[in-house]
Amino acid sequence: MAQQHPPFEILEHTADAGIVARGATLAEAFAHAAEGMYALMVDLEGVRESESRDVSVEAKDVTNLLTNWLLELLFLTETEGLLFRRFDVEIAGTTLTGRAHGEHLDLSRHLLGGVVKGVTRHLLEITQEDGAHRVTVLFDM
């Protein structure tokens, strides 16, 4: 029986924070990476799924696809004040289409953590282990 891992784990790193996300598919690992990124910013239990946004990104390779996906989500957070908690992701080659589910920031309800300013390329890694996909990402906080 395969060992069960949580969908994502928080990594401690000097000035930044990061996550290790896993999934049975690359798309699931990308969805869990986004979930982990938002877990650094807010208590996900307090985020309702009252709104959703479609997201579509392309890149020259899957590593850049991951970066573009997370940066596009951060852009929606910065420009529309949205927090997300669940993600539907489909990947075809180096194109990602997805839907992010969440709601507008409500300071009276949301327990905020750190502010993710960007996605770093330091230690950025996408691998396969035991038939599952594993993504490691550090964020500029």
Q: Is the pLDDT at 14 greater than 80, yes or no?
A: no
Is this model's pTM higher than 0.75 or not?
Answer: yes
∠ CA 40-137-39, nearest 5°, is 15
State the Cα–Cα distance between residues 48 and 7, nearest whole angstrom: 19
18, β-bridge pairs? 11, 138
The residue count of the chain comes to 141
State the Cα–Cα distance between residues 141 and 47, nearest whole angstrom: 21
Q: Indicate the DSSP class of residue 123.
A: T
Q: What percent of the chain has pLDDT over 90?
A: 80
Is the Cβ–Cβ distance between 101 and 1 less than 8 Å?
A: no
pLDDT per residue over 78-135, tens digit each? 999 999 999 999 999 999 999 999 999 999 999 999 899 999 988 899 999 888 999 9
Would you say domain 8-140 falls under CATH 3.55.10.10? yes
